[in-house]
Amino acid sequence: MTTRHDTRSSAREKTANAHTQIRETESAVSEALAALRDAWDYAGQRIAQILHLSPTTVNGWLRNERVPLGHAPYAPDIQALLHLLAIHRSLHAMFSNPKHQVAWLEQKHPDFGMPPVDKIAESIEGLVLVRQYLDYARGRGA
Amino acid sequence: MRQAYRVTQNQGDNAYAESVTSSSSRARELERVLESTKPAMPYKDWDILIATPFRYPLPIASEFSARFRPAGTMRNVLYCSQEMETALYEFAYHFLRQRTHLKDLDAGKDMGQRTAFCLSIKSGKIKDLSKHRECRKIMSRTDYAPSHAYILRNSGIKVLRYPSCRDPKARSNYAVFDIRSLGRSVSEPTYLHFIYRTNTQEVRFWSAGFSVDMTVSRSNFE
């Protein structure tokens, strides 16, 4: 027979597990951000500039080794960061050499008529467009 | 049903998330949260390799424009080839398109894997472009305006067969506009290995499973 005490314990356990998962996710995103910074040799300030965020915000995420995600749908600053990480994921899949990833970002691209990093920095729409473009290009084997 | 082939990104591992996080559980969490920011996967009854090309947002943005995907249209397309070798030429074209404009790369090579697979098309719904009197013009290597005009005039086509302008033998490709014209599963998903040489801008790829070993360079498509 399940007692009220058992039910409360089970609820506490579920809450604790949910908190653990959230911490794991926030740490995972922070680790991915640090990996992007290192792979592309982009300082926190450069990342902040691309995403139109405050350097304090990005450097705080890196320093604290935690990105406070909140819940979906995510706040615009978190969404922007996740789109940039997805771009890193795509370029990582396309090019094993990080220098080639940066070259793809920073050199003029025939389909954008400008370096993709400039398209990203234009607006959130530009950021999403480059992410979706890379998803499409990877779908064709690029 | 007819068989066709397609090459896509490597399906075999979780390399990015594993390499940027410190544990498997964090890698899983990272993948989960990144996936949650993509559009929902439509057509869940089809294999993900078939459903993915029908996932992209509509209308088509100009940057995503392709042979039978004019900017502004409301139809996604799955491209595939009748022969594996033709699929490899098409893959090589898209592979090189993301690389040959890059300058001042270190001399060296880039190695990796992609996934090649086989799918099936319901043969009763195929329109054959090769019989069209303006086929050559529509299949221009450099100008997509005629193919865009053609497909806009023929918006009811569900599957189009057309000669590949990337394959030197001009063997057939298919553009599939309606997922219901495709079988729901894929077969023979196989690793395709590649080496890309930055100095010569050529890519060699091979697969024991499909008995292929080819080298293609930028000059193949000029």
pLDDT per residue as tens digits for the range B110-165: 899 999 999 999 978 799 999 999 999 999 988 999 999 999 999 999 999 999 99
Residues 59-118 (B) with a CB less than 8 A from some CB of A: 61, 63-64, 79, 90-91, 94-95, 97-99, 101-106, 108, 110-112, 114
Question: How large is the ipTM?
Answer: 0.90
Q: Does residue A97 belong to the interface with chain B, where contact is any CB pair within 8 Å?
A: yes
Q: Which two tokens stand for residue B180?
A: 């219901």
CB-CB under 8 Å, B7 with A141: yes
For residue B77, the distance in angstroms to the closest alpha carbon of chain A comes to 11
Full-model pTM: 0.90
CB-CB under 8 Å, A69 with B33: yes
How far apart (Å, rounded) are the C-alpha atoms in residues A48 and A115?
18
- What is the per-residue pLDDT for A16? 78
What is the per-residue pLDDT across A100-127, written as a single tens digit (0 to 9) for each?
999 999 999 999 999 999 999 999 999 9
Nearest CA in chain B to A36: B20
- Select from B24, B26, B194, B216 the residue whose CB has the most chain A CBs within 10 Å, as the one to mutate to test that interface: B26
- Are residues A112 and A101 in contact, defined by beta-carbon separation less than 8 angstroms? no
- What is the per-residue pLDDT for B140? 93
Alpha helix positions (H), chain A: 4-40, 44-51, 55-64, 76-94, 98-106, 116-122, 124-139
pLDDT tens, residue order, chain B (222 aa):
999 999 999 886 688 999 999 999 999 999 999 999 988 888 999 999 999 999 988 898 888 889 999 999 999 999 999 999 999 999 999 999 999 999 988 777 889 999 999 999 997 879 999 999 999 999 998 899 999 999 999 999 999 999 999 999 999 999 999 999 999 999 988 999 999 999 899 999 999 888 899 999 988 888
- What is the per-residue pLDDT for A1? 63
- What is the per-residue pLDDT for A127? 96
Residues 63-82 (A) with a CB less than 8 A from some CB of B: 69, 72, 74, 79, 82
How far apart (Å, rounded) are the C-alpha atoms in residues B174 and B6?
10
